[in-house]
A and B are shown apart, each in its own frame.
Chain A
Amino acid sequence: MQALQELSRRRVVPFDVPGHKRGRGNPDLAAFLGEKALSLDVNSMKPLDLLGNPVSVIKEAEELAAAAFGAHHAFFMVGGTTSSVQAMILAACKAGDKILLPRNVHKSVPTALILSGAVPHYIYPDTDKNLGISLGMCFDDIKTAIEDNKDAKAILLNNPTYYGICSNLKGVVELAHKYGMLVLVDEAHGTHFYFGDNLPISAMAAGADMAAVSMHKSGGSLTQSSILLLGKDVDNGYMRQIINLTQTTSASYLLMVSLDISRRNLALHGKKIFKQVIDYANYAREEINHISGFYAFGKELINSSSIYDFDTTKLSVNTLKTGLAGIEVYDILRDDYDIQIEFGDIGNILAYISVGDSKKDIERLCSALSEVVRIHGKPPKGMLNYEYTHPQLIITPQAAFYGEKELLDLKNSKGRISGELVLCYPPGIPVLAPGELITAEALDYVEYAKEKGCSLSGTQDPNVEKILVVK
């Protein structure tokens, strides 16, 4: 931040890219985004360091971030947390290496497996039949997986999940390290764990080796900025090389400075900020639980295995008893009440609470929900259960993705090896990943999900009627 301030004080004459030259060459854009923003959209230069090989101000900012997060090293990332997750996997696994991971991974994970050539071994998280959500992984299941796959190089966890559910991170770290495995944590929804009080343990505090943190989610930085954290046993020079394989050489200073300023803000005011967020979320949970039909779940779910801890900043509300699907409530709130929430799946909605909220906005949400029940509520219909399909991995995702393939109608593809990813949203988990056997079970699931109005994606065919299979 200080380096950018210094630069604008010096009024350097720009004969370098970007071509808009501090906005003067593109007045419409400057008027729309603001001249200040464009004047800070500059190229790497000596006084501003270089993200690909930081030696001065970026290095210093990364060191400050590492200290703030209690990590051994921190990398500023400008390709979203997707790039952080991919860098973790690419650094941990070479082609043929085995990695343990939950089935409900973010889309960035299977793509990283394609790039790295690693072999996935899936662990199936528990699902809560009443709420229709995936929970954490049971510690016993993780233990079995680790003991059955002693040759695995790494284990990846989602912690917390989108819904705020946390696994026994510390237990997993101890066990995995005993077998020499690296622990990678997709901590996209957990930036605040590093700064608030009374929150679940963060990946770095639990001793994990790497963590991908979406600063732009609860941390307040600009969209697409992210931080990758390393523990003490990971070589940061090697990680830098891995990151540079795919990272832009024109990293945006707007994104980087937003990480720096947000880090400072969290370090100085994080405790207060997240106390406020927790208070808002707890208040909303209590109010919403007085509205008949809605269930805003919280710490009462904790069961010491698949729900080891709960992130109280997350306001997830189960809608099934109102007779409405979460996605319906999501649409009604947006269309009729001008309230945009984070997402709605079959049985739940998630309202993202942050320091930017105010009490009166929380009141609007609660009141709108009470109206939704009064006007649209109906007797609950049959429950929908999510079961994970249990596909068998035949060849590595990389071999399948780059292998010779042919296009088949999905319904004629049984028994073949998938060359593509098939994602089902909600709940946002892969039904099939490249290299997996296409089973009758998987095809039934796709049919069922389509019928229920879930959206499917991931294949080249946008309607997911056809699938590329390995020849």
Chain B
Amino acid sequence: MELWFSEIHTPSVKLDIKLKKQLFHGQSDFQRIDIYETVEFGRMLIMDGFTMLTEMDEFVYHDMLAHVPMAVNPNIENVLIIGAGDGGMVRELSRYKNIKRIDMVEIDKMVVDAARIHLPFTACSLNDPRLTLFYEDGLRFVRKHTNVYDLIVVDSTDPIGPGEGLFTKEFYGNCYNALTDNGIMVNQLGGAFYHGDIVSTQRAFSRIKGSFPIARAYQAHVPTYPGGHWLFGFGSKTLHPTRDMQRDIWKNLGLDTRYYNTTLHIGSFALPNHVIKLLDEV
């Protein structure tokens, strides 16, 4: 018997991944959650049929959302993470000793509970004493905070589903308001290859551009995401993502990272022409 998971990337393209077994299935108030053991990618987390992470390539995604802003401002002390119920963001950020407080807002407790059991490689730092977990709507949480966080990491699902509110203009405006004077916000923007992805990426980027004086996009290679090439957003009040990058300070921290390094940091903001063009159009 063969067991395969198919992720629909477009109506005419799908990615098939061979499974060993299903580890978890749950339907929460917000979404359908599945965790599989795969042949090639290790364990993988699926929400509403879309791959959120796999054991094999999650390091790319988490490195790029955590270390890029931390290298731009290594003095970050107060961090807000929105989404990221698998714990991967906390794992990376908790490696910084000078971070004093991490607030994580995940709307769906079932994701966190399932990750603690089945995804120990990402959930391993969810007991960090600096972490406070809030199970509520990210949009609501961020609205109630002003001038509190040095960094906001938005690790959301796609714009259709429970993450919808996290792709809106009001959300980015609320984030701006919740950030301190040198505050930075990073998020996952989406793909830049398939037409449907392009439209939502442009839309999300236009929201960052509309809310932050400095708005840039950067890229990474994530094999299991549609098209394999993924974009991240960088919104900032004062700090520039490459000019203000603190190469030496970051290197002196001595963090061992699998994907990220400071040279790649600079390079990740150098975008292909087709991406420059689609982001210019917004």
Contact = CB atoms under 8 A, between A and B. Distances in A.
Interface in B128-159: 137, 139-140, 142-144
A177 interface: no
Contact of B177 (A287, A366, A374): A374
A337 B169 contact: yes
A290 B145 CA distance: 12
Given A337-B168, A363-B165, A375 B173 contact: yes
B174 A360 contact: no
A368 B173 CA distance: 8
A375 B177 CA distance: 10
Contacts of A375: 173
A359 interface: yes
A370 interface: yes
Given A336-B169, A363-B140, A371 B174 contact: yes
Interface residues of B, number: 16
Contacts of B170: 337, 364, 367-368, 370-371
Contacts of B140: 287, 363, 366-367
B139 A367 contact: yes
Nearest to B142: A367
Q: Which has the most chain A C-beta neighbours within 10 Å: B162, B173, B174?
A: B173
Contacts of B169: 336-338, 368, 371
Nearest to B141: A363
Contact of B137 (A336, A337, A363, A371): A363
A363 B165 CA distance: 8
A360 B173 contact: no
Contacts of B173: 367, 371, 374-375
Given A363-B137, A363-B140, A370 B168 contact: no
A71 B258 CA distance: 73
Contacts of A368: 168-170
Nearest to A370: B143
B137 A366 contact: no
Q: Which has the most chain A C-beta neighbours within 10 Å: B137, B143, B162, B171?
A: B143
A286 to B, nearest CB: 12
Contacts of B142: 367
A364 B139 contact: yes
Given A360-B137, A374-B177, A375-B173, A366 B143 contact: yes
A363 B107 CA distance: 13
A363 B174 contact: no
Interface residues of A, number: 16
B40 interface: no
Interface string A102-127: 00000000000000000000000000
Contact of B168 (A290, A359, A364): A364
A375 B173 CA distance: 9
Q: Is the contact region of chain B dominated by helix, strand, or loop, or is it mixed?
A: helix
B244 interface: no
A367 B164 contact: no
Nearest to A291: B143
Given A360-B137, A360-B139, A363-B140, A370 B165 contact: no
B270 to A, nearest CB: 32
A163 B162 CA distance: 31
A367 B162 contact: no
B207 to A, nearest CB: 10
Contacts of A371: 169-170, 173-174, 177
Contacts of B137: 359-360, 363
A368 B139 CA distance: 10
Q: Which has the most chain A C-beta neighbours within 10 Å: B140, B164, B177?
A: B140
B179 to A, nearest CB: 13
A375 B210 CA distance: 12
Contact of A360 (B143, B164, B177): B164
B211 to A, nearest CB: 9
Nearest to B139: A363
Interface in A349-385: 359-360, 363-364, 366-368, 370-371, 374-375
A338 B142 CA distance: 20
Contacts of B171: 367
Interface in A13-34: none
Contacts of A374: 173, 177
A370 B174 contact: yes
B108 to A, nearest CB: 12
Nearest to A290: B144
Interface in A388-402: none
Interface string B110-144: 00000000000000000000000000010110111
Contacts of A290: 144
A287 to B, nearest CB: 8
B74 to A, nearest CB: 29
Contacts of B162: 360
A152 B144 CA distance: 56
Nearest to B174: A367
A366 B174 CA distance: 11
Nearest to B162: A360
A337 B210 CA distance: 11
Contact of A364 (B144, B165, B177): B165
A291 to B, nearest CB: 8
B224 to A, nearest CB: 27
A357 B168 CA distance: 17
Interface in B162-196: 162, 164-165, 168-171, 173-174, 177
10 contacts: A290-B144, A360-B164, A363-B140, A364-B165, A367-B142, A367-B171, A367-B173, A370-B143, A374-B173, A375-B173
Interface of B: 137, 139-140, 142-144, 162, 164-165, 168-171, 173-174, 177
Q: Lowest 6 A-B CB distances belong to which pairs?
A: A368-B170, A367-B170, A371-B173, A363-B139, A367-B143, A371-B170
Given A360-B164, A367-B171, A368-B169, 10 more contacts: A337-B168, A337-B169, A363-B140, A364-B139, A364-B170, A366-B140, A367-B142, A367-B168, A370-B143, A371-B173
